[in-house]
Amino acid sequence: MNFFHSDKAIRDSQPDFSGRRKLLLVLMLGGMAMLVGRAIDLQVINKQFLQKQGNIRQINTVSVPAYRGKILDRNGEPLAISTLVHSIWANAQFCKEYAETRPKQIPEECFESRKKFTQLAKIIKVPLPKIKKAFAEESGRKFAYLKRRANPDVVKKVKSLQLPGVYFEPEFKRFYPSGEVSAHILGYTDIKDVGQEGLELMYEQILQGRPGRKRVIRDGRRQIIENIESIEAPAPGQNLELTIDQRLQYLAYRELKTAVKKHQARSGSLVILDAKNGDILGAVNYPSFNPNGKKNLKYIRNRVFTDKFEPGSTTKPFVVAAALDGGFIRPNIIIETHGFYRVGRQLVRDHHNYGDLDLTTVLKKSSNVAASKIALAMPSDYFWQFYNKLGFGELPGVGFPGETSGFLLGYQTWSDFEKAALSFGYGISSSALQLARAYTVFADDGILHSVSLLKREQDFDAQRVLSEQTARKVRAMLEHVVKKDGTAYRARVDGYRVAGKTGTVKKSSAGGYASDSYLSIFAGMAPASNPRLVAVVVIDEPTGGDYYGGIVAGPVFSKVMGGALRLLNIAPDAEVTMPLLLVGKD
C-alpha cells in the first residue's frame, strides 16, 4: 500500500473557506449571536419591564356589578327586581391594533365587519350612523357602548355575527313586573342603574349595592378567559318592604283608568290608607307610564303626592267637627240657609234653597251657606289651628320626591269671606294623600295617623285631634251622604256601611275660576261601623257631560272599596241588597 499522498491529494482534502461557504458561515454565526443577545435582553435586561407590559395587556382588574335591592309589596310580591344581562360595547381600534402586532393573524372578520354593520344596527335598534361612528378608527376611541343592558335574545343574535372588537359586559337591569300599575310609586332607574323617580330615587342609598373587584386574564380579543382572584366581593343593596298591597294597586288602577276614559278626563288619582295605622295600601294615577320601556316625561310625576288642589266640599266635615269639638255649636242646632248668604260684599250660594238644616243634612245636602255660618262662629285662630293639626299646609312626611305641603293661608290676614270660603274648600289646597290622611280622624275615632310607604310595627306618630265622641258623631252624619237622597248614593258598597263626602270643585284660572273646568272628588271610609280603609278619588277635568263628585268619583270609590274589603276579607256590617245572580239553563 502507498501511505504517501501527493500534494494535490492533500489540497483536495483541506476545507474550502472561500466564496459562498464563507458567507454562509458568517451569517450563521451572526444569527446565533443575535439570538443569544435577544435572549439576554428579554430574560435579563428587560425582564421586569416586559413582564409588566404583558400583565397590562392580559391581566386586568375589572368591576363586578352589585345586585340592587328588591322592592316588595306588603305580601312579599316583587315590584322591582334586578336581572343579570349584558351590555354590548365596541373597541374601534381592535383590528388596527391586531394588524400592528400580528399582521399575519388578522381575523377574517376584520375584513368583513363593515358589511355586518347594517345587521348589527337592526338587531340592537340603534341608528346605522351611530354604529359607524363607534367603529370609526380615526375617532381614537377604544371603548364605546353600543347597547346598554340588552335583552338576552339580542345578545345572542349579536354574538352570532362574530364581529371583531365587539364585547359583552355583564350588568344588572331593573325590571318592574307590574308595569304601569305601580310605576308612579316605584319610579325607575337610569342607564347607570341609579334611581331617578319615586322610591328608586327616594331610597337610592339603601337600594344600591357596592360593586366588587376582581383580577382576570383576557385574550387578544379582550374577552375574559380566566378569573384569577377576587379582590373585593360585591355587596348587594337592601330590600324594601312596602305597605303597598299589589292586589289593591291592580284593582284601583283598573277602575281609575276606566273612569278617566269614560268621562274623558284629563287625569285621575286614587289613594287607599289603612284606617288604623296610616299605611298607604294603594296609590295610583292615570295616565301612567311603562317603567320597563320608553318614558313619557309628561306622565312621570306621582300626582297623589305632588299635585295640590282645592278640596272643595270634602272639607265640610272638618268644619262641623271643629265647631262641635270646640263647643261653638250644639249637636242639635238648626241652621237657616235660604239658598244664599251675604258675607261682606260677597254672596255664598247653595245649589238649591234647602231651608232650615240640622248638621246631618248640612253634610248630606252639602250646603255652602250652612258651612260658612258654622265657620264664622269659630275664632279664626282656633279654626286655623284645627286645619293645621289635620296636616293641611304641612308636608305629609313620607319624604316622597316632589311631595307637596299644599297651602293654608295664615289666619291673621283672613277676611270674613276667605274664612267662609275655607269651610267649603276654597282658599286652601292639599294633595290627595293629605286629604285621605285627614279623614283618618273620622275613621279611627279622632286619631290622626301619620302616613308611610314602608312597613312598620305601628304608627308612633299618631295624635288625637278630635274627641272620640265628636269623631263618631260626624262619621254617622257622613253615612247619610251615601244614602239614596244624599249626594253620593253611587259611592255605596253593597254589604258594607260607607261614610264619605263628595266634592265638586271649580278649577282656578287666570282672573278667577273657570266656568267649565272641574275636579270631581270623593273621600270616604268603610265599614262605617268600624272603618278599616280610607280612600280618596280625584278625577281632573271630566268632559263627558257629568262632573259632580258623587256621579264621577263616587262609582270609582264604590268599586275599589268593595273589591278591597273583600280581598282583605273584612266582614260586612250591612245587609246585602243586590239581587243574587241565578245560574241555570237558557
* Number of domains making up the chain: 2
Smallest Cα–Cα separation from 474: which of 434, 511, 501, 512?
Answer: 501
Q: Is residue 447 classed as helix, strand or coil in its secondary structure?
A: strand
At how many degrees (to 10) do helices 416-423 and 368-376 cross?
Answer: 120
- Within a domain: residue 153? yes
DSSP conformational letter for 104: G
Helix count and strand count (H, E) for the chain: 23, 21
- Report pLDDT for 280: 98
- Report pLDDT for 569: 96
Query: Are residues 129 and 195 part of one domain?
Result: yes
- Report pLDDT for 514: 84
pLDDT tens for each residue of 164-179? 778 888 888 899 999 9
Query: Are residues 258 and 218 part of one domain?
Result: no
Last residue of a domain, one of 241, 276, 311: 241
- Within a domain: residue 538? yes
pLDDT tens for each residue of 378-429? 999 999 999 999 999 999 999 999 999 999 999 999 999 999 999 999 999 9
- Within a domain: residue 25? no
- Within a domain: residue 573? no
Domain limits for position 96: 63-241
- Report pLDDT for 246: 97
Smallest Cα–Cα separation from 161: which of 113, 128, 221?
Answer: 113
Q: Provide the mean pLDDT of the chain.
A: 87
| Cβ proximity of 225 and 60 under 8 Å | no
Please, which contacts does 187-193 make with residues 24 or more away whose CB atoms are closer than 8 Å? 187/291, 187/401, 188/291, 188/295, 189/68, 191/148, 191/149, 193/68, 193/82
pLDDT tens for each residue of 48-87? 655 555 544 567 777 777 889 999 999 999 999 998 888 8
Query: Are residues 263 and 200 part of one domain?
Result: no
Tell which wins on pLDDT, 264 or 161. Answer: 264
For residue 60, the cross-strand partners are 216
- Within a domain: residue 31? no
Known catalytic membership, residue 313: yes
**What is the Cα–Cα distance from 578 to 370, expressed in whole angstroms?**
35
pLDDT at 477 exceeding the cut of 50: yes
Last residue of a domain, one of 220, 241, 262: 241
pLDDT tens for each residue of 120-136? 888 888 888 887 777 66
Query: Are residues 373 and 503 part of one domain?
Result: yes
**What is the Cα–Cα distance from 353 to 75, expressed in whole angstroms?**
51
Decide: residue 236, CB within 10 A, 0-12 exposed, 13-18 middle, 19+ buried: middle
- Report pLDDT for 4: 47
Query: Are residues 343 and 216 part of one domain?
Result: no
pLDDT tens for each residue of 540-581? 999 988 999 999 999 999 999 999 999 999 999 887 665 433
Query: Are residues 268 and 158 part of one domain?
Result: no
CATH number at residue 213: 3.90.1310.10
Return the amino acid letter for 23: L
Query: Are residues 385 and 332 part of one domain?
Result: yes
**What is the Cα–Cα distance from 516 to 485, expressed in whole angstroms?**
26
Query: Are residues 346 and 211 part of one domain?
Result: no
Query: Are residues 272 and 185 part of one domain?
Result: no
For residue 150, the cross-strand partners are 86
Percentage with pLDDT > 90 across the chain: 61
Is the bond leading into 287 cis (omega within 30 degrees of zero)?
A: yes
| Cβ proximity of 276 and 469 under 8 Å | no
Q: What is the mean pLDDT of residues 480-507?
A: 95
> Which cell is 111 given?
375584513
**What is the Cα–Cα distance from 483 to 577, expressed in whole angstroms?**
13
CATH number at residue 524: 3.40.710.10
Nearest-10 Cα torsion for 430, 434, 438, 444: 170
pLDDT tens for each residue of 313-369? 999 999 999 999 999 999 999 999 999 999 989 999 998 999 999 999 999 999 999
Cβ density class 7-17: b for 16+ within 10 Å, e for less: eeeeeeeeeee
Using the structure block, give the residue that is written with the C-alpha cell 375584513: 111
Is the bond leading into 527 cis (omega within 30 degrees of zero)?
A: yes
What is the pLDDT confidence band of residue 584, given thresholds at 50, 70 and 90?
very low
SS (H, E, C) 140-184: CCCCEEEEEEECHHHHHHHHHHCCCCEEEEEEEEEECCCHHHCHH
Return the amino acid letter for 84: L
Query: Are residues 389 and 493 part of one domain?
Result: yes
pLDDT at 34 exceeding the cut of 90: no
The DSSP code sequence of 355-413 is -EE-HHHHHHHT-HHHHHHHHHTS-HHHHHHHHHHTTTTS--SS--TT----EE--GGG
| Residue of 313, 380, 429, 558 marked active site | 313
Contacts of 574 (CB under 8 A, 6+ apart): 495, 496, 497, 527
Query: Are residues 403 and 299 part of one domain?
Result: yes
Q: The whole model's pTM is what? A: 0.83
Last residue of a domain, one of 241, 267, 296: 241
- Within a domain: residue 494? yes
| Cβ proximity of 213 and 225 under 8 Å | no
**What is the Cα–Cα distance from 397 to 439, expressed in whole angstroms?**
16
- Within a domain: residue 35? no
pLDDT at 586 exceeding the cut of 50: no
Q: What is the mean pLDDT of residues 90-117?
A: 62
- Within a domain: residue 160? yes
pLDDT tens for each residue of 205-242? 999 988 888 776 665 555 665 666 778 888 899 999 99
Query: Are residues 438 and 292 part of one domain?
Result: yes
Contacts of 265 (CB under 8 A, 6+ apart): 259, 520, 539, 540, 541, 542, 543, 544, 552
Q: Is residue 428 classed as helix, strand or coil in its secondary structure?
A: strand
- Report pLDDT for 118: 82
